[in-house]
Amino acid sequence: MTALQTTIKLDATIQRDLLSRARQVAQRAYVPYSNFPVGAAALAADGSVFTGANVENASYGLTICAERSAVTALASAGHRDIVAIAVSAPRVPLTTPCGACRQVLNEFRPVSEDMIVILDDRETGRAVRLGELLPMAFGPRNLEGEGEQSIE
């Protein structure tokens, strides 16, 4: 599947659904070392949703975050644009993706608009743009010879 133009508009219903799915998958996280479960639900441009939970490893560096788990599922299904992703950490409200996850999310940012990251505030979610979390990001378009990326 090639990159698609974003056709899904994020409304309150979709935002609640993504947040609900992120909360549900966080319950299945494998976190025997940190006891810090995280769930993520990524919305592809065609409306498909892919979830992931963090999976820890005794060799801590091999741990995978929930966001990267969801992105891996999405990319493995052939999708290349993420319209929005919800992130839920039941123990701490408004947990944001780590730096590595922000960079991985940037790889799948739609060309036409910024990705929305929905943070679990224990209510309906707080939506922020990926550009706010990762300003002046380096990404795939920097390697395509399209010139300078605009600074948001």
Provide the annotated active-site residues: 67
How far is residue 39's CA from residue 92's CA, in Å, rounded to a whole number? 12
SS3 call for 14:
helix
Side chain identity at residue 92, one-letter code? V
Q: Which of 24, 14, 43, 48 is nearest to 124 (CA)?
A: 14
Q: Which of 57, 60, 133, 64 is nearest to 94 (CA)?
A: 133
How far is residue 116's CA from residue 15's CA, in Å, rounded to a whole number? 10
Side chain identity at residue 75, one-letter code? A
Report helix angle 99-107 to 66-76, nearest 10: 20
